[in-house]
A = this chain, B = another copy of it.
Amino acid sequence: MRLDTDPYLARYAARVRGMSASEIRALFAVASRPEVVSFAGGMPATSALDMEAVEQVAAQVIRDHGATALQYGGGQGRAELREQLATVMHHEGIPGHADDLVVTVGGQQALELVARCFIDPGDVVLAEGPTYVGGIGALVANQAEVRHVPMDADGMQIDALEEALAVLEREGRQAKYVYTIPNHQNPAGVSMSVERRHRLAALAETHDLMVLEDNPYGLLDFEGRTWPSLRSMIPERVIYVGTMSKTFAPGVRTGWVAAPRPVRDKLVLLREAADLCPSNLTQMIVETWLTTQPWREQIKRFTNVYRERSEVMLAALDRAMPAEVAWTAPQGAFYVWLTVPPGIDTSDLLAKAIASRVAYVPGRGFYGDGTGGDQMRLCFSYPPTERIDEGVDRLGELLHTELELVRAVFGDTTPPLRARSSQRGGSVGG
């Protein structure tokens, strides 16, 4: 995977204020070299996919149903696929019925259609801070005001959410919805505790709130555990977004929304105006994958790869990082969220990192308000373990050097350096 086709890094770079198109191109020209280890893109390990099976599935779809697979389809997506996607939800213990689902171009289109459906310019959406770049992108494109709710190792801090709701009330406003990624959050790599899910559900009832529950990673728990969904607690208040990008493959661009009927109908109309219909071909490939292949086994295979890579990354961080650096300890999915001491700016550091042959996404990309300059996201899902070791060593060396510079300028104690977090349940906040 070349970095110049890495949508996460590209999107981040486009958001960096003051970085010109030619500077970004120059950065990518270096970053695309094979010797650079990329922890940037949130890319699944497609190499762990049973490619022979996928080839057979695609050939079978075209051989047996080519005239349908290559034709237009309906805007809601194929009923046969929606049945299967409901089965995927049930596998995670989430209620879902084919009729309530709208098939989308990955989870991203789901997030954007929901934003388009609900947001008038200036409307407030509450979201975890940090949160998914593309989620912010969908909100910003629809001129929402994103207000972040801080997180810790147990996910979104519900006390802080209550405070944000109180502030809105004092302003005479209401949040259009709360956007959350409760499971193995991107980018923080933490999950919302069960107790907080119940508190969030209760707050939604008392404050008449909609919740956008974005769940790309729920099935990628390293121990195979599942968490209770918000959809199961307050079904009429939740718009649920799923995707096959992480449990099968992003290349089929297949996600979905599950929503109460009136919302579902509006989403179908919006999607028809947006791109008419999803691809029958990729829909039927996913459908056939789910009906004829051992997809639960494939998810286990993915999860084993990610668990091993996360262990290698956490061990490498322990070994290579300065004592003042803190990070979270994921129990599923793709991400470690890392906080550097004051005096280091992760946006400024990116060019040096790439020159040192390692890439990450700077923290500011995951906030809508310009904060996060002392944070970065490391994604361990894509590089093989020996590359992870190399990359973390390079990043550690760079941060050691930077810290020496900071100390040379500010002295040993100013600005104050933070104590190192424990690995399990490390710090998320900036």
A residues in contact (CB < 8 Å) with B: 1, 4-7, 10-11, 14, 21, 41, 43-44, 46-47, 49, 51, 54-55, 58-59, 62-63, 66-75, 78, 104-106, 108-109, 112, 134, 137-138, 140-141, 245, 249-253, 265, 269-270, 272-282, 285
Contacts and interface: CB of A to CB of B under 8 A. Distances in A.
Contacts of A251: 68-73, 279-281
Contact of A70 (B41, B140, B141, B249): B249
Given A51-B62, A54-B66, 12 more contacts: A1-B68, A7-B75, A10-B272, A11-B75, A14-B269, A46-B67, A46-B70, A49-B66, A72-B250, A105-B274, A112-B274, A249-B281
Nearest to A134: B276
A55 B66 contact: yes
How many copies of this chain does one complex carry? Answer: 2
A27 to B, nearest CB: 15
A40 to B, nearest CB: 12
Contacts of A6: 72, 74
A134 B46 contact: no
Q: At the interface, is chain A mostly helix, strand, loop or mixed? A: helix
Contacts of A68: 1, 46, 251
A49 B138 CA distance: 37
Contact of A55 (B62, B252, B269): B62
20 contacts: A5-B72, A5-B78, A7-B74, A7-B276, A46-B66, A47-B67, A49-B70, A51-B67, A55-B62, A55-B66, A68-B251, A70-B252, A71-B249, A72-B250, A105-B105, A105-B275, A108-B274, A134-B272, A250-B280, A251-B281
Contacts of A280: 250-251
Given A63-B51, A71-B43, A275 B109 contact: yes
A106 B274 CA distance: 10
A267 to B, nearest CB: 12
Contacts of A109: 274-276
Top 8 A-B pairs, shortest CB-CB distance? A70-B251, A70-B249, A105-B275, A141-B273, A5-B74, A109-B275, A51-B66, A108-B276
A379 to B, nearest CB: 12
Nearest to A142: B273
B272 A253 contact: no
A7 B70 contact: no
Given A59-B59, A75-B10, A141-B273, A70 B250 contact: yes
A146 B32 CA distance: 45
A42 to B, nearest CB: 8
Contacts of A137: 272-273
A142 to B, nearest CB: 9
A70 B58 contact: no
Given A10-B74, A251-B280, A270 B66 contact: no
Contacts of A59: 55, 58-59
